[in-house]
Chains A and B, each alone.
Chain A
Amino acid sequence: MTLSQLPLGAKATIHSFTDELLSVKLLEMGCLPGEWVQVTNIAPFGDPIAITVSGYKLSLRLSEADTILIK
């Protein structure tokens, strides 16, 4: 399952990434394998979404969330 499929309010753990280039950027932004994530907001037009990760709020597009595998 990917992060883009996680419903609003649900929590999960980051497992791995499918896009190499984006994964470095995600790591930089505190999205680490094993880290808790929670979908906290969805933008009015359905995209992007905001997640809570590493103790702060990060917004990302659904296409970007789609590269994050969760469990």
Chain B
Amino acid sequence: MKVALVGNPNTGKSTLFNALTGLNQKVGNFPGVTIDKKTGKCALATGEVVDIIDLPGIYSLYPRSADETIAFNVLCDTDSGTRPDLIVLVVDATNMKRNLLLFTQVADLGIPMVLALNMMDMAKQLVIEIDVAEMQSRLGIPIVQLDARNGAGITQLKEAIASKGAIVAPLFHIETATLAPALTEKIKAITGNPNEYIAFQLISLFGEAKFITAEQKKAIAFAVANNPPNIQQLQTQETLLRYNLINDLLYDTVKQEHKHDETFSNRLDRLLTHKFFGVLIFLAILFVVFQSIFTFSKYPMDAIEQCFLLFGNFLHRVLPHGVIANLLVDGVLAGLSGVLIFLPQIVILFAFIAILEDTGYMARVTFMMDKLMRSVGLNGKSVVPLISGIACAVPAIMATRTIENWKDRLITIMVIPLMSCSARLPVYTLLISLVVPDVFVGGIFNLQGMVLMAMYLLGFVAAIVASLVLQKIIKSKERGFFLMELPVYRMPRWSNIGLTLVEKSRTFVWEAGKVIVAVSVILWVLATYGPPTAMNEITTRYAALPQTSANQLHQRSEKLEASFAGVLGRTIEPVIRPLGFDWKIGIALITSFAAREVFVGTMATIYSVQGDETNLSSVRDKMKNARNAVTNKPVFDVPTAFSLMVFYAFAMQCMSTLAVTLRETKHWKWPAIQLVYMTALAYIASLLTYNCFL
């Protein structure tokens, strides 16, 4: 049996889903769209196991956003296997009138239903009395009172699911057909589906419907064109009819004592969205989040790195020396550690985001920032993902799912990678330490620190400018609404947050991990092998020399130059020459494509630094002493270093970001555009920088 959870946003539907399915859930996608499809299994007392589908939160069956279109198609499709056998309609008991609108629409589809009144604890606090028995007899379906946060009523809900629900009583149906009788009849004849409400909906929505054939679509389009209805008026009439019915029902079954004292939530809102303090508190929260990301993640990240190091050494000891061991340790394992090392930062970031979302604060951030963001072509809901981009673009792009408007979401996804992520930090630190003197300006401001901050600012400004440009280019038929519920502040539900974290981490490790491991293996192969004649020549030459560690390092360095990666570096050298880069930097640019922080490691290998690759000072000394063979000038002078930093600030050199953009936009063209525009921007900006400083 398939059971669908349907309801308004903020009704506690996800909490209910978690309570019913526990960890026994998986997130997929609805066919052809980016919206998450959460499904899970739930064991009933009878021993029967049912499939639970969590449909996106919607306010009505009129599809205006991608979310709503999904719900409409899943629920109206009478033929395919996706249509549920039972709908559990979840409503917020403190806000019955608005919530029941969706209920009456879904009721008209003729699917057996169970009505779940959630948030009964809050309703009791507000002294809302509901005559459940009377309501049940009027509607003719089982009604369950729930408090999903505390798990109250879950057993009763499972019993109601086992009873398979019932179809809503005929008295509670709306005669939608009377609003447009001729068209409704015609559409019923075309589709062969006797349901009046589906026929009525098709008058306006045949274009989006996935459950009718192309010929049926054409026939409906013809019928509608012959007798064009005023669709907005029809929908308004329908909605008002429904509210009449709801008002009648609520008048007889719900009593609320009107208390006029200010609620806690309202008082909190006055502070948290205050002109001055609201903004200040928001900035303070941001500060705490970033401090936590960098401070709390340090030890787990070191621990993960150490574990991989130990495991790698162990494998090298146990496995027979040779290609397999090298590929496994330097290719696969190195790639994996590259992914997993960021997991602590991602978990911390997502924990904060989940808490802020769960308490209801995130809606306030959106509320406060909307005007500011709108002036640059974004949306209030872009703020949080953009800020998250300073830690890592991958979770930041995943966090854009809260933006309903597709165009706004797309622009946000496209500009997030311009925010300076934590992987650029090692690159900046290394290059700044090479060319910027460690002095204090005016006695207080560290010059190196100021340059670093300027790099972060540069990324932010670039993101804003890029969104201004993209706003002009990307076209959208979707009309954007802001209308957003500000939910009542509540304590976070820790188990819910735990489940969210497990699910997000799992997705991150698998999805990004697959790509990173693949690229690492390819890079390893390219950097290890080369044209055989050149490689063999080096091997024979060094075999004749004494086996000192210095010689071994020189051999490695020469082999890298002769390897396919080296050949690649040589090949792109003419292109990057105008930016002030030589072929060695070229290799680093290529290997950085797996992840930017690889730059430091690659530089370390190229300049054959002994031992610890993370030892910045020794890489720095080598790079500082590196001289151009022809001119004998330092390789890393001010123009080259700044040009390189600007290149890293703008260039799209992150496989995992491209992979996640593809996953979220579901079309290869968006990551392709991202790659091209960012790289072009980087090239031009570097060219300008190099020539400015030259």
> Is A71's CB within 8 Å of the partner chain B?
no
Closest to B105 in A: A28
| Structural contact, B95 and A26, CB atoms closer than 8 A | no
Q: How many A-B residue pairs have CB under 8 A?
A: 108
| Structural contact, A47 and B371, CB atoms closer than 8 A | yes
| Structural contact, B60 and A28, CB atoms closer than 8 A | yes
Instruction: State the Cβ distance, B464 to closest chain A Cβ, in Å.
Output: 16
**How many angstroms between the C-alpha atoms of A70 and B278 in the bound complex?**
29
Closest to A53 in B: B98
| Structural contact, A55 and B94, CB atoms closer than 8 A | yes
> Is B509's CB within 8 Å of the partner chain A?
no
Contact count band on B: 35 or more
Partner of B236, one of A27, A47, A58, A64: A27
B→A interface (CB under 8 Å): 59-60, 62, 64, 94-95, 97-98, 101, 232-233, 235-236, 239-240, 243, 265-266, 269-270, 273-276, 278-279, 363, 367-368, 370-372, 380, 479, 481-488
Tell me the interface secondary structure of chain B in the complex: helix
A38-71 interface code vs B (CB 8 A; 1 in, 0 out): 0011011111101000111111110010000000
Instruction: State the Cβ distance, B268 to closest chain A Cβ, in Å.
Output: 11
| Structural contact, A45 and B371, CB atoms closer than 8 A | yes
> Is A30's CB within 8 Å of the partner chain B?
yes
| Structural contact, B483 and A43, CB atoms closer than 8 A | no
| Structural contact, B372 and A41, CB atoms closer than 8 A | no
Closest 4 CB pairs of A and B: A30-B98, A20-B232, A57-B486, A45-B371
Closest to A20 in B: B232
Instruction: State the Cβ distance, A8 to closest chain B Cβ, in Å.
Output: 10
Cβ of B233: which chain A residues have Cβ within 8 Å of it?
20
Cβ of A10: which chain B residues have Cβ within 8 Å of it?
none
Instruction: State the Cβ distance, A13 to closest chain B Cβ, in Å.
Output: 15
- Given A27-B239, A55-B95: A61 touches B479 (CB 8 Å cut-off): no
| Structural contact, B482 and A50, CB atoms closer than 8 A | no
Cβ of A54: which chain B residues have Cβ within 8 Å of it?
95, 97-98
A→B interface (CB under 8 Å): 20-30, 32, 40-41, 43-48, 50, 54-61, 64
- Given A20-B232, A59-B482, A64-B482: A43 touches B98 (CB 8 Å cut-off): no
**How many angstroms between the C-alpha atoms of A23 and B233 in the bound complex?**
10
| Structural contact, B269 and A28, CB atoms closer than 8 A | no
| Structural contact, B368 and A44, CB atoms closer than 8 A | yes
Partner of B479, one of A21, A28, A29: A21
| Structural contact, B95 and A23, CB atoms closer than 8 A | no
Instruction: State the Cβ distance, B231 to closest chain A Cβ, in Å.
Output: 9
| Structural contact, A24 and B95, CB atoms closer than 8 A | no
**How many angstroms between the C-alpha atoms of A43 and B279 in the bound complex?**
10
Cβ of B372: which chain A residues have Cβ within 8 Å of it?
45
Cβ of A57: which chain B residues have Cβ within 8 Å of it?
265-266, 269, 485-488
| Structural contact, A24 and B235, CB atoms closer than 8 A | yes
| Structural contact, A22 and B59, CB atoms closer than 8 A | no
| Structural contact, B269 and A60, CB atoms closer than 8 A | no
Given contacts A27-B236, A30-B95, A54-B98, 15 further A-B contacts (CB under 8 A): A20-B232, A27-B240, A28-B59, A30-B101, A41-B269, A43-B370, A43-B371, A44-B273, A48-B367, A48-B380, A50-B273, A56-B98, A56-B485, A58-B484, A59-B482
